[in-house]
Structure 1
Amino acid sequence: MKLTVEISKYPLADDYIGPIKGFIDELNKTDDVKIITNTLSTQVFGDYDNVMDALQRCIKWSFERYGKVVFVCKFLHGDLSPED
């Protein structure tokens, strides 16, 4: 099953750019999902299990590294990634 997730991160700190970039960099270490980042959010596309594993790993990493953070996610069945 394919999955599309749109995720936005809101660090509860004055220095918010570093934690956002850190999360995106960590997410980009995942080989088996497609990731597109823009100024509003990051979209993750791929197999359901691969996407969820990547999100679980990176969200946990972000909490451990940066502390209080809010994540807002939208989950949609299917792979809606734009054609390359």
Structure 2
Amino acid sequence: MQLSVEISKYPLAEVDYVAAIQNFIDRINTHQDITIVTNVMSTQLFGDYDVVMKALTQELKTSFELYGTTVFACKFIPGNLYQKYAS
């Protein structure tokens, strides 16, 4: 099953929020077999459901451990919207 996820990160702890967001983006980009599109509003992940969810589980936990209180706003949509609309 394919999955599309749109995610935005909002660090609430007193940290450099730009660095905290960029750190998440850099870490999620190390995961292979996921198509990742980043813009000024959010990051979108596209790929196999299990692969995307495993990457998110790992990187959300790491963000909480590194930066404390953080809000992630996510939209999960079945299917790969990148493949459907990118052409």
TM-score over 0.5 for the pair: yes
Moved over 3 A (4+): none
Q: Which runs of 5+ in 2 are unaligned?
A: none
TM-fit CA distance, 1:83: 2.9
- TM-score, normalising length from structure 2? 0.91
- The residue type equivalent to 1:7 in the other structure is I
Q: Which has the higher helix share?
A: 2
Q: Which runs of 5+ in 1 are unaligned?
A: none
* Alignment: residue pair count: 84
Partner of 1:83: 86
Aligned Cα root-mean-square deviation (Å): 1.1
Report sequence identity in percent: 56
- Are residue 5 (structure 1) and residue 5 (structure 2) matched? yes
- Are residue 55 (structure 1) and residue 56 (structure 2) matched? yes
